[in-house]
Amino acid sequence: GASTLARILNVVVAAVGQGGLIGRGECVPYPRYDEKPEATLEAIQAMQEPLAGGMDRIALQARMPAGAARNALDCALADLEAKRAGQRIWNLFGRPAPEPRTTAYTISLGPPEAMAEATAKAAHRALLKIKLGGDGDGARIAAVRRAAPTSELIVDANEAWTEDNLAANLKACADAGVTLIEQPVAKWNVEALKTLSATLGDRASIMADETVCSPQDAMMLARAQASQVFSLKVAKHGGLLRTKEIAAVAEAAD
């Protein structure tokens, strides 16, 4: 039978109180970014004295690096700010209220047969995201497409495509009608992202993930026209403040 891989995620919660109000934020330390729950908790606790001294969200950005710990505190401070103002947080940020969105259902990386089996159970979903790993991705993409003939497909290569497998994987994407390719090459290879974006044109969009970690990264990618989409993650960017700034760069660059 099919094997099941269970992931245990440790959630770290930060709470900041002032004037009888409590702002809360949380984060998940990711091993991919060399983050551990214990170190994340210690980093948050180390900010108790600066917070008691009046450190705000702007000052927090300079005191902590981007990552899970700053994300939890940044979100907690934003939550506290919204409660003090008596506003919903999207009003505080000048954003529209959240609306329903179609989210991507992930097909985890594995042998083509296992991915096809998982896809068959999710073939009714409108949008599927295929996790890939480099060599053999063409067979994985084709297997998922056969199992879900009507779903929109996007893929996440996680930096795994190289000169040796790039052409074959791009052909497989074209054959399957893939509409978006997330971080196909190494995060430092902006030239390759730029070339891919120009080559694909309107056929598929390139999404930058690991390449875009800061507003400066976003501006560099926008100027280079090296991607059409940014993957925004509050954990990666260290909170809502920097995530909002990167979103503003994306909107300005269309």
pLDDT at 5: 43
Interior/surface letters 134-173, b for 16+ CB within 10 angstroms, e for the rest: beebbbbbebbbebbeebbbbbbbbbbbeeebbeebbebb
CA dihedral sign, ordered 53, 56, 57, 63: negative
The stretches in the chain having pLDDT less than 70 are: 1-8
As beta bridge partners, residue 206 has 181
CA dihedral sign, ordered 109, 115, 118, 119: positive
Q: Given 83, 233, 236, 244, which residue is catalytic?
A: 233
pLDDT at 95: 87
pLDDT at 1: 35
pLDDT at 56: 93
Known catalytic residue at 131: yes
pLDDT at 238: 95
Over residues 104-162, the pLDDT tens digits come to 999 999 999 999 999 999 999 999 999 999 999 999 999 999 999 999 999 999 999 99
As beta bridge partners, residue 23 has 16
| Torsion angle, alpha carbons of 121, 122, 123, 124, to 10 | 110
Q: Whose structure tokens read 């089996």?
A: 117
In whole angstroms, give the CA distance from residue 11 to residue 8: 10
Beta strands in 65-191 (DSSP E): 105-107, 127-131, 152-156, 180-182
Tell me the three state secondary structure of residue 120: helix
Q: Whose structure tokens read 């100027």?
A: 223
pTM of the complete model = 0.87
Over residues 93-111, the pLDDT tens digits come to 888 999 999 999 999 999 9
pLDDT at 2: 40
Q: Given 36, 121, 129, 131, which residue is catalytic?
A: 131
In whole angstroms, give the CA distance from residue 185 to residue 164: 12
